[in-house]
Amino acid sequence: MSTTAIKPGRGSRPITGRTVLLYFVTFFGVIFAMNFYMVRVAISSFSGVETESAYKAGLSFKNDLAAARAQDSRHWSVEASLERDGPAGVLVTARDARGQALAGLSPEIRLAHPTDKRRDVPLEVVEVTPGRFRSITPMPEGRWDLVIELKRETETLFRSKTRISL
């Protein structure tokens, strides 16, 4: 006959209703805390609003279409190139349909962030020669939309948007 000895020690604790409740509340408390944190970070980093009023943007579509047709009818040649010797810069050359430099224009050039307009960078521009403009603002690295607008007084005569990588 063999005898099995039972060693004294800690026995297993019975699962009670209080233990189950404690585990349940702890589990869902961690889930709710993480969800709250993630929602807060998501909302503070990007609002998700690109257009303040979709209704007004829809109404201005007809005006934008007419401006694009007028721009095409001018047959202007506007070229932008990145200069990387020294500090990076943008050189914009604007010519009319006959190849003559366009004088009397005021450019507005900016680096538009593809997903968050709060990070857009307006570029300060100087006119090198008539119809040639160079940015003098330091340009940050990354992928950007280069937006070029050429204006005469308050009227925008030319607008382009091109994705670039710096």
Domain locations along the chain:
76-165
Where is 74: in which H helix or E strand? helix 61-74
SS3 72: helix
Task: Give the Cβ contact number of residue 116 at 10 Å.
Answer: 13
| Length of the chain as a residue count | 166
Q: Provide mean pLDDT across the span 91-95.
A: 91
pTM as predicted: 0.65
Pick the CATH number of 76-165 from 1.10.3980.10, 2.60.40.1080, 3.30.540.10, 2.60.40.10: 2.60.40.10
What residue has token string 């233990």?
A: 19
Predicted pLDDT at 161: 93
Where is 26: in which H helix or E strand? helix 17-45
Q: Provide mean pLDDT across the span 149-154.
A: 90
Predicted pLDDT at 3: 58
